[in-house]
Structure 1
């Protein structure tokens, strides 16, 4: 399948070899590459305020600066917690994928490299939560029961599609965060590492997904479109735990109503999801038949 510009996309093997070279020359060790002893800076945020779910709502207008910053800490904690569980899920999916591949192949070698990256990222985000004394949020019970079963059902198509959803959805806000001097220092450093290494993961997943779509039958593709859409609809909806509002001293029911009706938050979600939705539509993993699930995830208007 050609890219939108008409230039033939690189083969998965060529992409994997390029990414292996990049990983060898430009990877991070969060234990030593982050200044974990950087002091907590009074008045600084933990997440960009414009990306918070209640930004510019009536509830936001009534909050003082201290409470707004606390909301940013809680929302960051929810996103980072869910990133840990998402990356644990990527480990499961990739482990299953690697078990079906030739261990001498460069694509398998890069998949193993990505497994190592994700293990470091999980530890990095867990240490971030500990550094800022944040609560750990968890997926709802239904998702926790379903996730261990999914690698066997997802196979290559849904595995790589969901890797893209997981990685690309938070890429825009993390790119903003790593440059935003209003944010805490450790937060910016974590985002810088995550953005740099996840860019390689996105390149690998895109190449593998293109190849998987090209060899898939129409029936198999239809099944995995639905699996991907349902998983995105359920998973993305769980990224921001409702308990963040109570933890920030807010009325949960009122906060959820204002979040639902907040045009700024809807636009933030649509902007964050645009690249991955456009790509999945381009390669044939999203059709109008799945739009209701993607709309549930606030990734399609």
Structure 2
């Protein structure tokens, strides 16, 4: 397949998404909100008396470490894990916004440019909510995820960018859906999770369609080495993404001794391995179903 033929095939694949992107754009317009007036921030929070994360989704849940914590300590951990979760989203959305802006109005992606504007706008608003919580009540945790710096062909880079976005957001959305409905959580935590889920649900529809379109249009031209590189890279990314849910800075702020050792114990705990497998099942099932992945990235579990 020659480059012009590949470009034409990709353009046709993107054009086939027109009905989907038009519908998603209408939904975004209908639910447009002002992030500076949509929420009323509490004047203060009490991490040892209030819940900010669902206990069953905490990184120590189901481990011997969890059993040794009293109730105030569990709530304190839940607060700092909420801050970490919001911080992960801030860092993830910074990279996402950069990548979306770089692809805006590119000729081969022109058919989806209108929705990319909504995508960018909504990700910026999400960062305002996440950052608003972190800077009011705690801090923004640093990201320890190092960029994978390799030069690849543009079509491969595009696929990797949107698949990474999809993996990150699908995992986050599982947490959002659970925590948006959890009546134990403080209203501000439920609001942030619910709002993020409602808008991300559109992004996930777009992401699934676009990833499938890019894979179907480009993969036939890639040899086994390129496909293997893509799969290995995504397996590394999945591990790196999950690793950040086990943050030593969180454990230190929660008052736990030996935070790095806590992180390793939690990561290796059978209950947590099963938790990661369960939360990742939907996105990995989708990627395997379209042939992009050929097996479960076992190192993450």
Category of TM-score, reference length = shorter chain:
0.7 to 0.9
Q: What is aligned with 1:275?
A: 282
| TM-fit CA distance, 1:82 | 1.2
The answer as to whether partners of 2:55 and 2:61 remain within 8 angstroms in 1 is yes
Task: Name the CA shift for 1:179/1:285 in 2 (closer, same or farther; >3 Å).
Answer: same
Q: What is aligned with 1:100?
A: 106
- What are the residue-to-residue correspondences of 1:140-289 with 2, within 5 Å? 140=144, 143=146, 146=148, 155-216=157-218, 217-219=221-223, 220-251=226-257, 252-288=259-295
For structure 1, which segment, 173-182 or 266-275, has the greater mean C-alpha deviation from structure 2 after superposition? 266-275
The answer as to whether partners of 1:40 and 1:184 remain within 8 angstroms in 2 is no
CA distance in 1, matches of 2:233, 2:247: 23
CA distance in 1, matches of 2:252, 2:122: 34
Equivalent residue of 1:33, what SS? coil
Superposition TM-score, scaled by structure 1 size: 0.84
Q: Is 1:62 equivalent to 2:59 in the alignment?
A: no
- What are the residue-to-residue correspondences of 1:288-299 with 2, within 5 Å? 288=295, 291=296, 294-298=297-301
Indicate which of 48, 51, 60 corresponds to 1:45: 51
| TM-fit CA distance, 1:223 | 3.8
| TM-fit CA distance, 1:75 | 1.2
For structure 1, which segment, 229-238 or 188-197, has the greater mean C-alpha deviation from structure 2 after superposition? 229-238
| TM-fit CA distance, 1:207 | 0.8
CA distance in 1, matches of 2:170, 2:36: 24
CA distance in 2, matches of 1:257, 1:210: 35
CA distance in 2, matches of 1:222, 1:90: 24
Indicate which of 116, 122, 135 corresponds to 2:121: 116
| TM-fit CA distance, 1:101 | 3.2
CA distance in 2, matches of 1:148, 1:185: 43
| TM-fit CA distance, 1:295 | 2.5
Q: What is aligned with 1:4?
A: none
Indicate which of 14, 32, 40 corresponds to 1:35: 40
Indicate which of 17, 20, 23 corresponds to 1:15: 20
**How many equivalent residue pairs?**
281
Task: Name the CA shift for 1:150/1:194 in 2 (closer, same or farther; >3 Å).
Answer: farther
CA distance in 2, matches of 1:212, 1:226: 18
| TM-fit CA distance, 1:262 | 2.6
Q: What is aligned with 1:7?
A: none
The answer as to whether partners of 2:53 and 2:79 remain within 8 angstroms in 1 is yes
| TM-fit CA distance, 1:208 | 0.8
Deviation readout 1:179-213 (Å, 9 max, x if unpaired)? 11111111100111100000100111111111111
Q: Give ranges in structure 1 of 5+ residues lacking alignment.
A: 1-9
* Misfit runs of 4+, over 3 Å: 37-42, 145-154, 220-223
The answer as to whether partners of 1:101 and 1:108 remain within 8 angstroms in 2 is no
Superposition TM-score, scaled by structure 2 size: 0.84
| TM-fit CA distance, 1:106 | 4.3
CA distance in 1, matches of 2:123, 2:152: 18
